């Protein structure tokens, strides 16, 4: 154990110092999407799908890198187009948002709870 700590210390001595990522701006952007996601989930649960989609669109606009916003928008758009068997514009757009959500976070799991 002591030997591995010494080897690690020697390796890190020559390692370049990495600056921490600029997380403050990212957190502020992500936080700005939360109210829209919460509102959209509330509207979705009351089956007001078009109003929910509008809120989720605002969340995506506030934070395009939010897998949650992308997923919830995609799911809501699918629900809007669900009554028909054919491929609707809503279903087509939902595919794009699902793909984007998976691209952003392959492990994202919806909770349908307000963030």
Domain residue ranges in the chain: 27-104
Q: What pLDDT, in 10s, does the model give residues 51-104? A: 999 999 999 999 999 999 999 999 999 999 988 888 899 999 999 999 999 999
Q: pTM of the predicted model, to two decimals?
A: 0.71
Distance CA 34, CA 115 (A): 6
What kind of fold does domain 27-104 have according to CATH? 1.25.40
One-character DSSP codes across 20-36: PP-HHHHHHHHHHHHHH
CB contact set of 89 (below 8 Å; sequence gap of 6+): 81
């Amino acid at each position: 154990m002591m030997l591995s700590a010494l080897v690690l210390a020697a390796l890190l001595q020559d390692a370049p110092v990495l600056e921490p990522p600029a997380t403050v701006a990212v957190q502020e952007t992500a936080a700005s999407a939360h109210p829209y996601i919460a509102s959209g989930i509330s509207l979705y649960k009351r089956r007001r799908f078009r109003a929910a989609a509008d809120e989720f669109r605002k969340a995506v606009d506030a934070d395009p890198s939010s897998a949650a916003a992308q997923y919830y928008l995609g799911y809501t758009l699918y629900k809007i187009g669900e009554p028909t068997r054919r491929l609707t514009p809503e279903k087509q757009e939902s595919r794009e948002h699902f793909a984007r959500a998976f691209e952003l976070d392959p492990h994202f799991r919806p909770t349908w709870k307000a963030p």
